Amino acid sequence: MAAVAIATRTMKAAQIPGPGRPFELVEREVPEPGQGEVRIKVQACGICHSDVLTQGGHYPGIVYPRVPGHEVVGTIDALGDTVSGWRVGQRVGVGWHGGRDGTCISCRRGDFRNCLNLRIPGISYDGGYQEYVVVPDDALAAVPDSLHAAEAAPLLCAGLTTFNALRHSGALPGALVAVQGIGGLGHLAIQYARKFGYNVAAIGRGSENAELAGKLGANTYIDSTATSPAEVLLRMGGAQTILATAPNSKAMSSLMDGLAPNGKLIVLGAAFDAIEVTPIQLISGSRAIQGWLTGTPADAEDTLHFSELTGIRPMIETYPLDQAGEAYARMLSGDAQFRVVLTM
């Protein structure tokens, strides 16, 4: 009977046993937080397309088995040594920014978002597809009580990325801002763009997306299968910002001519093939292309507060942790409306 008394506490986790392998549901010991770390009792974890990096083994240096997940929401369950400013029971979230080294040149310049040794949940260490996760305390964002865990989770990556890219785009209220793609990122980008006070043009495929785009806040819907989005944007005076959320380099290339003078194409959709643009397209009108990588935990808190203030929420489909494999397949199918979230 003594063995029962000292039995370690276990939990369920959905792990990838090796690169390219399917998910397996396993029992693991509940991890203990070390110095500077906290343990979170996970309530929800969003499934992001970037989790393909872990499942497919596309990110260098991943140690397997690995639990993916970088859209984590839960409550702090235990504090490691030297952690201050956070308390047990507090609602928190963790996104792509899973800890910084604090010593690289970006960190020394205060540009933590671009830490050269950024740690990423689900890649550098086990992420949120499990009942408990241990993370460094500098990865934590406080989550407002009013936000439902499953709705807050996608805001920590998809929401944060679009919110942060838009608010740093330089476009002023009233400017024409186009959102290319009405999916996991795009459906949030349209909402943020509208609440920021832009004249929002949503670019999607097919007439059937027009109604949804309007509901999300788009002032104009452009069907890319029926017309040239760049020509339409140009007729409207040109877009100050085009936020390219769908990972389609060809579609992004075709948008360049829709930019206003000094306009900027901001790239969020992560594709591996090249965007094609001529120097003339960039030089005439001083147009620019910029990529954007998510944000810090402080940026995540800004995203959550703005979403709370303005009623912006992701559209989600939830699955229990036991069905992580099915949920992941659903995300991959591209048919989900729009973010898939695991609940514990």
Query: Contact positions toward Zn ion, by CB under 5 A?
Result: 48, 50, 100-101, 104, 107, 115, 157
User: Which of 157/275 has CB closer to Zn ion?
Assistant: 157
Beta strands in 245-326 (DSSP E): 259-267, 288-291, 316-320
The number of residues in the chain equals: 344
> How many Å apart are CA 312 and CA 308, to the nearest integer?
7
**By C-beta, is 157 or 203 nearer to Zn ion?**
157
**What does the alpha-carbon distance between residue 71 and residue 150 come to, in Å, rounded to a whole number?**
10
Measured between alpha carbons, how far is 258 from 277 in angstroms, rounded to an integer?
Answer: 13
Minimum Å distance from CB 294 to Zn ion?
A: 7
Measured distance CA(98)–CA(94) in Å, rounded = 7
What gap in Å lies between CA 113 and CA 340, rounded to an integer?
25
d(CA 52, CA 44): 19
- What is the closest distance, in whole angstroms, from the C-beta atom of residue 70 to Zn ion in the complex? 6
Question: Residue 318 in contact with residue 343, Cβ under 8 Å?
Answer: yes
Instruction: Give the H or E element holding residue 248.
Output: none
Q: Are strands 176-180 and 239-244 parallel, antiparallel or unpaired?
A: parallel
| Least distance (Å) between residue 196 CB and Zn ion | 22
**Shortest Å, Cβ 287 to Zn ion:** 28
The distance of closest approach from Cβ of residue 8 to Zn ion in the complex, given in angstroms and rounded to an integer, is 32
- Pick between residue 157 and residue 327 the one whose CB is nearest to Zn ion: 157
Query: How far apart are the C-alpha atoms of 293 and 114, rounded to whole Å?
Result: 8
**Phi, psi values for residue 25, rounded to 5°:** -90, 125
Question: Closest separation between CB of residue 104 and Zn ion, Å?
Answer: 3
Closest by CA to 45, choosing from 17, 60, 67, 76, is 67
The span from the CA of 281 to the CA of 286, in Å, is 8
- Residue number with CB closer to Zn ion (115 or 275): 115
In the bound state with Zn ion, the residue whose beta carbon lies nearer, of 181 and 263, is 181
Confirm if 254 and 228 have CB atoms less than 8 A apart. yes
Residue 107 or 265 with smaller CB distance to Zn ion: 107
| Shortest CB 278 distance to Zn ion, Å | 32
Shortest reach from residue 157's CB to Zn ion, in Å:
3
Q: Which is nearer to Zn ion, 36 or 214 (CB)?
A: 36
Q: In the complex with Zn ion, which residue's Cβ is closer, 100 or 194?
A: 100
